[in-house]
Structure 1
Amino acid sequence: MARIKGNSQQNVLKGTNKNDRIFGLIGNDTLLGFTGNDILSGGKGIDTLSGGRGNDIYAIDNAKDKIRERRNQGIDTVQASVSFSLSSHLENLTLTGRANLNATGNANANTLIGNRGNNILNGGAGADRMSGGLGNDTYVVDNGGDVVTEAANAGTDLVRANINYTLTNNIENLELSGTGNINGTGNALANTITGNSGNNTLDGGQGSDRLIGGAGNDLYFVDDLSDVVVELANNGIDTVRTTIANYTLPAHVEFLEFIGATGTSGGTGTTGGTTGGTTGGTTGGGTATSGITAIGNALDNIIQGTVGNDLIDGGLGVDRLIGGLGNDTYLVDQTADFVDETVNGGTDLVKAANSYVLRENVENLELVGSGNFDGTGNDLANVITGNSGNNILDGRLGDDTLLGGAGADKLIGGDGLDSLTGGDGADTFVLKELDGDLLTDFNPLEDRIALDQTAFGLTEVLGSVLSASGLLTVADDATATAGTTLANPLAKIIYSSGTGKLFFDANGVVSGLGNGGLIATINNAAGVAPILSNTAFVVDSLI
């Protein structure tokens, strides 16, 4: 092995065909290695180094040093004590010392190795291997074949990638660059993953992760209550998919879906719509078997539940709440909040802090708070419960149960065999059909029965009490159904005081009820029919 040294002048030092060690020392030197596995060190000055054939090692101490290699002239390594970029046909770069230096590769498959400082390693094009060593290192990744290697406890490190990327072991942070729709996945550490301006899927994996989507329609996978999702206002239509049974949607995120404990991340997801208006476009709801608690935010959210018994609260905003199977409970605070249930999707309850109309396939409604709200059913057998305010409860179709609670309530059974309970307060029981509704707690001292003028052929002025001649009270049902021929030929409403049944006589002076029939049954809590007079009834227009 030849050992060749220069001096303080500007030297041209030539090696042999063997493994040479060439040192330029001081001056702007030119070192030529020819064949063999050479070591070339230019020393001080701006040097030009050419190892020729063989696996050469270049020692660089000046960022302006130039290395000239040709194609297929061996596997060459640069050892640099300064920040350095590999020129063409060089394979490997190792940073030396303790300074905060940067290493940049070329189009080849490079190996870049950092020093004990804070390094930026950028492999460039090609499938590169990068290892930062100690220090807080940054890796620039642009190729799916790039491999980043870090040891445990070797600093807080960052990968900056413009491709889909999953953090390898011992790397803390990931930042997506560019504008592409790319995805970032963490590891078992507490990662910070930052998206770009595209539509990103961010999955922190295990650990307490911080996920920052940036602009674009982003999808977040959350598997730990300590995970933090950060979104700014007007930064796209964003979705959280979570395995957490009790989860509150973070600010500025629109959609929430529960994917179950066995759910896995993947894909970019599809969302659509605009904030502040109607939102739409969710994907599947997972395979969970136990219920969740899902809470929205101030935006117009879409929240997807599970097959379990879920509690879903849209929060502020006009929300779409999708419970799926199970006996779900929905908390709504907007009349326009949309509860989306399927046929045979469980027995579901809406708790509303406002007036609300039940959507299809939802069974029960409960008004909460103290406001004077209205609750309206659908074509199912609904249970509708009022609050402490003055409520209007309307069951519509189906055999409904209406519970007024406190307050002066109006209860409208609608079609079907309904059960009406006014509760405390001066309540009004609305009757307009021959359905045989049950009034469970009618109190003639304060409650009233509203009869539809048209349905029962009444002649009294709207809003007035039923005339004394308009009501006939009899002792039993047999007498009631015989008609009003003898007792009171003008009466259209017949009350059987023995049973509490209220009949409509459509015949007038003709024997029997004709096309009339049972209107309702009136009982108090003890099952005893109250004593009624005509003043218990008011005439109204209800159809």
Structure 2
Amino acid sequence: MSQAQDDDYSLVLSKAPTAPVTVNLLNDGQTLFSSEDPRFNADDNTVTFDSTNWDQPITITLSVNEDYQEQEAQPVQNPPLQPHTLTGIQGKLIIEGGVPQGKARALSVAVMLPSESDTELPVKNIEVSEVLQTDVLNVFNDGSQENDSGVLSDTSLTGLGMGEGIEYKDLEVVELFLGQGDDNVVVTDTAADVITVVHGGGGSDTLSVTGSDADGVLILFGDTGQNGFAYNATSDEKTDKAREFNNPGNDIINASGAGGSVTIFGGQGNDVITGSEYGDHIAGGSGNDFIAGLGGDDHIYGDAGFNVDISTRLDLSTQILTVVNIADAVNDNLETSDPLTVGSDTINAGIGDDIVIADKGVINQLDGVNRILSTSLSDVTEVSNVGFTNGGGDTITGSTGNDILLGGQASDSIYGGNGPEGADIAGNDSDIILGDMGNILIDTGVVTLIATSDTNTGNNDVIHGDEGDDIILAGAGGDYVESGSGNDWVLGDFGEVDLRNNAIALKTEQGNSNASGNDEIHLGSGNDSALGGLGSDTITSDSGNTHVIADNGELNYSGAWNDSAVLVSALTNDINLGGDDDVTLG
């Protein structure tokens, strides 16, 4: 090609596309493209093929741009949308995030023929701090529709249709995006101080963990984050993320073999989630999920969702994990986001001092706490499901430990211990149980106030305190309560238990504008206290040292919970309210 002579070449696809394919033509400014074919777009120098014309060549004419002026900037190549599968990696791919020992990266003078020459290399002072930068490895297999299997370790990723796989080192973030099939990925280990993320994508996936480093962060998504941002690319709109999917499935996530805490979000579908033996953050999302916390002090949400910010390396991050209770219909990527539709979940918190919100709610922590790194009660200031008045009929088993269990709006079954078919618990099992809505205040790891809320919201719950000294606020509806063994405090309807100032005050909510029911409360053999509230309640006790106000009132004690509290006063109020109660004491 010259000023006096144009040139041309032809383009054609090698196979029929399933959707329109746009090819970008690179133009450095010195050349002009033209074509009489309507598939050519002169505005952006692109050619678009579809299934009807993919095998018909298009002729592109090249001519000299007479108006070209020398520019310092280099042309930018815009590659076409790639298939986003890993099958093209058949040899070993090695990725180094840092500078390996003995492998200097300095530029050297090129080897040239005697007839060749070159100018001196320019000197560039590039300051890079390995302790400040965040090296990220994104591995995309989201274009696959096959049922792929792979193994992820602290140094490699194998399987997923690859040959020898990918080896990596000195990275701060490793993120894997799976495709639309029913995939199976095993995490055998993760690196210390590294954020490792696995997105299941579409399909009913199985994610298993047999090992991980306690000093790293491991995040497992059955589908992807709640907002769907990680899967927002389409054939028409390229992004730096994974391709959208439309088939979220029923995922199985098992982190029982992890070596440290794990963060898990099931997403859409009826998922089966098993946590680790450490303190985990677990959210079921939409669907009727089964969640087992196993060991550690877990934070479990039945119907909430998780989003994460992994743009900054772990040791410099301030807040990685965000709990989401209400989907954002305006800003979420609606094709792949989770609308957070409530379901009927089954939750076994496992061993440890767990916090379980069966539907939606918040666990507020101290300012400055990076949520994903802590589930300690000493970092928690409040647990609440106030205002989240949509819920499903859930089953919660607290198991061993001093748990905080919030049922939510619908008819829930809540067990502080192992439930009716489980073994008795010999260790600590002093639980706080709210059948419906409320909030709990905590100061330096000590619960100070438990109160109900949304006093016209709730349903008929079944609550068993089981072993230990339990505090139970049943809430709305005609509830069935068995406090179990231990020294228990029970409110049949609404009210509060105030544990501040080295005292205990049990109070019912006053007035007749609150929802009520005919509760059945069975106290155990300990030194129990109960306020029946509104309605015609049945209250029984096996103990000879029980304090009961069948309707509304207040019981005040000196001393602390789980200690030898002494009754100071018993007051009744709203004496014209209440029902025909049946009280039988031992």
Provide the TM-score with structure 2 as the length reference. Answer: 0.37
The normalised TM-score by structure 1 is 0.40
